[in-house]
Amino acid sequence: MTNQRTILWALFAAMIFLTWSKWQADHAPAIDTAQVAPDTQNTGGVPPEPDVTSSIDELPVLSDSTLAETQTISPATESGEPEQLVSIQTDVLDLRVSKKGGTLVSAALRKYPKHKDEPNVPVQFLHNENDTLYLLVSGLVDSARGGPTHLATLTTEADSYVLRESDNVLEVPLRWASNGITVEKIYRFNRGSYDIDIEYKVRNESQADWRALNYLQIRKRHNPPERSMFDVDTYSFNGPVIYDGTKYEKLDPDDFAETPIDQKLAGGWIASIEHHFLSAAIPPADQVFSYDANYENGIVTLRANGPTRVVAPGTQEIFTADIFVGPKLQDQLEAAAPGLALTVDYGILAILAQPLFWLLQKVYGFIGNWGWTIIFVTFLIKLAFYKLTEASGRSMAKMRKLQPRLKVIQERYKDDRQALSQHMMELYKREKVNPAAGCLPMVIQIPFFIAFYWVLLESVEMRQAPFVLWIMDLSSRDPYFVLPLLMGIAMFVQQKLNPAPPDPVQAKVMMVLPVMFTGFFAFFPAGLVLYWLTNSVLSVIQQWNINRKMAVD
């Protein structure tokens, strides 16, 4: 009975895990094909170019809009001209910034290949094409809806900037001037960092106050990936998120019409996340910004508008903001903004997953290989629960020793279920055996199993991480299914060391379970299968040693 219950608990654990993963996928924001489909009826089958002057691009309005008549600065727009781009290259980023407003329109992550077998093709994160539109917009707007907005034309001293090997900081200045107001918009990049500083140096050489606010926008076409059990990317949330200073919330664009985003808060940020990467717009934490969102024509726009500030004649003011473009490296996320590390979504078991990742990261610092790190950490987890599993193993060994006597009782009372249960319980009590003891270690391992899954799935540190031989990416499945097969064999051996169910039918069902689990694990990340294989092998060794000590045949 113990063996039956133990294996059933294992099956239940797998069912919980699969159900939870499916729930995560099913509750990701569904794509609205009616909204996303480009209008090709009047364009000869060619999707229209993105319209940067549409209502999605509306400039923010200053709170003291009655002062609009005091300024007559208009945004400079040059329709029909090709977009002029500034090339920026650091040690980790390859960016393109438009001279129209200084908008980030392209970002390649130099240290993250899109595919393992194409190391020279980096992940392309931002796009300026209609079907994959993804832009980071920023600017200043004054009370006349002018100023260095994302619609204004900025100038630069050069069209290309490169972080030299001898430098740790690269500054890229873009300039704008009109009616005595001069603004220098500076992008500042630090070596090895995906956190980008934005600074506006505003000089008022006019005769009147200049009132303006700082704003940030993330514009992205909402194209969630199609769901597939064979692609781990589809199990991760893909879409907009917001942080209000205390709470992190995933947003469903389809809900914006019924439940608009309209908040004023300090210490918040907005972001668009996908499996291993994100972009975030981070206002100054000590200023109250207004947050809102829009979903129109298939494009999600997140906005953060700052407070109105006054630049007096003859004075200079500094406006600041941050943006983050790149992988979900937890150390950098934590340094960039409070709560930004929550975008590494470990789900409801983050309380276990976070310390588990911390332990993995510390061990990796010594070992230098994520595969061997997983094996070593699995050993440490097994060691932590050694006493508990040893007690369980002794109980199972005693159950195995009682098997001949249990069979006699079953034969004697096979027609009387009540008497059968009564005599079996008397035997357990007399021999001091707890038939449920073997289930406890499996129950305890369920949350660790699921937490380990999300650590391997969500941690970009393990993306494309090699182990040995054919295992070149621990975050994806074993291409030759060797690890799942070895895991199935280990589970079969482990089952043989435990007491068999007295019912022949149940015994046959239990024999099939290792095959079922092998099928389940065949498409899981190789790192997770490696963890379960290691755990099973250690369990086999432990149970064999217990059986040997208790002289159980």
Q: How many domains does the chain have?
A: 2
Q: Are 302 and 451 found together in one domain?
A: no
* Residue that terminates a domain, selected from 312, 345, 378: 345
Domain annotation covers residue 293 = yes
Range of the domain at 317: 64-76+83-223+235-345
Domain annotation covers residue 283 = yes
Q: Are 255 and 320 found together in one domain?
A: yes
Q: Which residues pair with 252 in a beta bridge?
A: none
For the entire predicted model, the pTM comes to 0.76
Domain annotation covers residue 165 = yes
User: What DSSP letter does each residue of 210-272 carry, written as one string?
Assistant: EEEEEEEEEEEE--PPPP-TT-GGGGS--EEEEE-SS-EEE--GGGTTTS--EEEESS-EEEE
The SS3 of residue 336 is helix
Q: Are 341 and 373 found together in one domain?
A: no
Angle between helices 417-431 and 403-412 (to 10 degrees): 160
* Residue that terminates a domain, selected from 345, 362, 377: 345
**One pLDDT digit (tens) per residue for the chain, 553 residues:** 344 444 444 544 544 444 444 444 434 443 333 333 333 333 333 333 333 333 335 678 776 543 333 232 333 333 445 679 999 999 999 999 999 999 999 999 999 988 877 888 899 889 888 888 999 999 999 988 889 999 999 999 999 999 999 999 999 999 999 999 999 999 999 999 999 999 999 999 999 999 999 999 999 998 766 655 545 554 578 889 999 988 889 988 888 878 888 889 999 999 999 888 999 999 999 999 999 998 988 899 999 999 999 999 999 999 999 999 999 999 999 999 999 999 998 878 888 888 999 999 999 999 989 999 999 998 888 887 777 666 666 666 666 666 667 667 776 766 767 777 777 776 667 766 666 555 666 677 778 778 887 888 888 888 888 888 888 888 888 888 888 999 888 888 877 776 655 555 656 666 777 788 788 788 888 888 898 899 888 888 877 777 676 654 4
Q: What is the pLDDT of residue 82?
A: 66
Cβ-proximal residues to 278 (8 Å cutoff; 6+ apart), any chain: 271, 272, 324, 326, 328, 343
Domain annotation covers residue 28 = no
**CATH code of 277's domain:** 2.70.98.90
Q: Are 318 and 402 found together in one domain?
A: no
* Residue that terminates a domain, selected from 317, 345, 373: 345
Q: Give the CA radius of gyration of the chain.
A: 30
DSSP annotation of 498 reads S
Q: Are 365 and 298 found together in one domain?
A: no
Q: Are 280 and 382 found together in one domain?
A: no
Tokens 């100054």 locate to: 284
C-beta pairs of 473-477 under 8 Å, 24+ apart in sequence: 473/116, 473/526, 474/370, 474/371, 474/374, 474/525, 474/526, 474/527, 474/530, 475/232, 475/525, 475/526, 475/527, 476/232, 476/525, 476/526, 477/230, 477/522, 477/523, 477/524, 477/525, 477/526
Domain annotation covers residue 49 = no
Q: What is the pLDDT of residue 438?
A: 57
Q: Are 270 and 207 found together in one domain?
A: yes
Q: Are 129 and 178 found together in one domain?
A: yes
Q: Are 211 and 357 found together in one domain?
A: no
